[in-house]
Every structure is written in C-alpha cells, then in structure tokens.
Amino acid sequence: RPNPPPLISTCRKVFGPKLFAQDLGRGRHIAVRENGDVYVMLQQLKDQKGMAALRDTDQDGKADQIEYYADFPGTGIAIHKGYLYFSSDSAIHRVKLPKEGLLPTEAPELIVGGFETRGEHDQKGFTFDQQGNLYVGVGAPSNACQEKNRTPGEPGMDPCPLLEKFGGVWRYKADAPNQRHPQDGTRYATGIRNTLALDWNTEVNKLYFLQHGRDQLNQFFPEHFDQKESIELPAEEFFVANEGDHFGWPYCYYDPQQNKKVLAPEYGGNGEEVGRCKDFKDPLIGFPAHYAPNDLVFYNGEMFPEYYRNGAFIAFHGSWNRSPEEQQGYQVVFVPFKGENPNGKWFIFANGFKGKERIKSPSDAKARPTGLAIGPDGALYISDSVNGKIWKITYQPPSQKES
C-alpha cells in the first residue's frame, strides 16, 4: 500500500496518519458514526452505487468490511439524530441507520428536492444547527453572473438574477420530507459564489463557511489584470454567517494584498475601486487564491490536545487555474479559534497529497483532500477524490521519556 502523506503540524511527532481505506472510488464528503462506521459519498458511481460504507471489524485502524449503497453519486453526507443524510446534485435524502448492520435496510426519503442543475457548481454540501434545521450551500452556475458566462469583457447582470435561487445558503427543516427548493426554505445568507465547506459551530451556535472565489481575471479583463494578479486573486474567503448576510458575490471579491473587498470588473471595477463593496462583510481569513476549500469541520473531539479544541480544520482540494505557475493548495489546514473568531495564524496540518513537490495540472496529483470528519474517539478522517483513499489521523501523547 502507498504511504500516507507526511503530516506537518506543531506536534508533528505525535500525530499518526494511517491509511484507513483506498480504491473506494472518487471520494467526496465523509461521515463517521458513533460506532466508528464510515460513510463516504462518491463523485461517480462504483459498482453501480454512489456511496461507500466501511467498518473496521478487528479494530486495527483499517477498514476490512466495505460495501456500497445509494443509487446516485453526490457530495454531501452527514449523520444526524440516527439518520444518514446524503446529497445528489439536485436533492438531499436521508435514511434510518440500522442498529447493528453497516448498510441501511429502509428506503431513503426525500428531504429537499428541486435544486436546479446547470453543470457548474451543482454539488451540495450541508450542515445542521442544534434547533432542527438543515443548511444547504447552493452554488451559482456562473463565474461572475455575466450575461454570457465566462466571456471576455462581458458585463455582469445587475442585479444578479441567479441569487434568487442560487449563490447562497438556504435553511430547511431537517426532518420534514418532500420540501422543495427554494419555496419551502429560507435564504439564510446570499452573495456566495459556491460553498461546499460549511459547518455549524456548536460552541458559539453560528454557521461558518468558505467560498470558492471567482476565476480568470486576466483572461477576461486583461486591461485591468496581468497574469500574476489573476493567479493570486481573489482570496478564498472564510466567513461566519448571520441570517440575512450578503457576502458580495458577484459584485465584489476580496483582494488579500490590499486587505479589502473591491469591485469586480464585470461591474465596472478596475482592481482598486471599492464602490458598493464597502457594504459587504469582510472575511475572517482570506486564504490563497484558487485553493478550492471543499470541507470544513470544527474539532469537537477529545483526542487532540486542548489547543485544537473548537478550532477549524479545512480541506483544500487544490487549484486548477494557476498556470503557467505550479498548482497549489492540496492540503488540510488548521485555524485555532477562541470564541467566534480565529485566535492565531492558520497553518498546514497535513500535506504531501500531490505525491510530488510540483505539479502543473490537477490530474498530476496522486490525491486531493476533499472531505473531513471527526470520529467518536476524536480521530480526524480525510477523504480523497482521486483514488478513494481515507486517512485516519490519531494523536499519541509523547511519553515522559520523550518529553
């Protein structure tokens, strides 16, 4: 078996990554049951199924029972109040988990349907609050709401009509079947190009998410942006959301070099003008451009040291559009938190997924981190979208002799 990626952290010697499973299919988000069973959604069908279910029967840290379930592929997956919730691109379903078995035996029920798919940003991530609500990220099928999408010099539609049912987070009842998007939900937050990485922070009772930022500034507006600026702009933004918030897409983007939101060129911006962007929320953190944040989980386990408690792990899938420079961002990072806000600098927790130091294309990467979950013992699980690997990362306190 291939070696797991090297781990980089402030406690490198005491964290142990172990390959829990591999060759599952193109893994997306991941969920771990209270008994340690693992479920991962797949981007494409494998053995005519869209989800892998795994069990470590001999407790050696590796899955030895692997079965497949669900008639469709997808992205989002979570366990909530005894049910397994999972998404296709157009709907959220749930099914009751069995008491003893690995696979559900009952038929899934539709919780929310009606999400329109247009071939761009269709995947659905979701999370739950503590009051019985389900929050679904609904990506916009557009780069910047141009009348003709991804067309050089094309203006943006103003106001952007896509925001009526895309480009935001919608709230639904977690246990009500047959809801329809958008009419049966509440638009909780808007102005979000695309979010797959969202999690409810139970410590402060708030929704957090990361946005996939826009692309191709130089390609579409070379009069304002050179190639280097297009590679380094805009930031991937990390937000805390309150009901009613507007985060500025498509009208604005966050420039980490200027530390401010600026007007998008589709709306008359030149890379410096702020305009209406002063009215929109700045991010908690602006991560490097095009890193593609695909999952977020707040650490609520007890295995890792106190420093990690209630902090945020983020899985970056890695860039595709930093050419001619090397592609970057294939890593899991950690953000320490105190209360509602980050408390200290973020750092790379796990990397080495690419398999080599430099790559020119995402297709060259040996693995791409995509999903995150915390196990009942406090271990961190990381899924991969290339060959369906899952790593289980545990913490072993140093012995008194080593310290």
Rounded Cα gap, residues 385 and 290, in angstroms: 17
**DSSP calls for 71-83:** SS--S-EEEETTE
What's the pTM value of the predicted model, to 2 decimals?
0.95
Cis omega (within 30 of 0) on the bond before 250? yes
Give which of 307, 309, 349, 320 is closest to 332, Cα–Cα. 349
Helices marked H in 38-115: none
Rounded Cα gap, residues 360 and 36, in angstroms: 37
Domain ranges of the chain: 12-395
Q: Which CATH superfamily is domain 12-395 in?
A: TolB, C-terminal domain (2.120.10.30)
Rounded Cα gap, residues 296 and 237, in angstroms: 12
**DSSP calls for 202-224:** TTTTEEEEE------HHHH-TTT
Write the single-letter amino acid at 268.
Answer: G
Q: Count of CB atoms within 10 A of residue 68's CB?
A: 17
Q: What is the pLDDT along the chain (403 residues), one digit of tens a residue?
A: 334 444 444 445 578 889 999 999 999 999 999 999 999 999 999 999 999 999 999 999 999 999 999 999 999 999 999 999 999 999 999 999 999 999 999 999 999 999 999 999 999 999 999 999 999 999 999 999 999 999 999 999 999 999 999 999 999 999 999 999 999 999 999 999 999 999 999 999 999 999 999 999 999 999 999 999 999 999 999 999 999 999 999 999 999 999 999 999 999 999 999 999 999 999 999 999 999 999 999 999 999 999 999 999 999 999 998 888 999 999 999 999 999 999 999 999 999 999 988 999 999 999 999 999 999 999 999 999 999 999 999 998 876 434 4
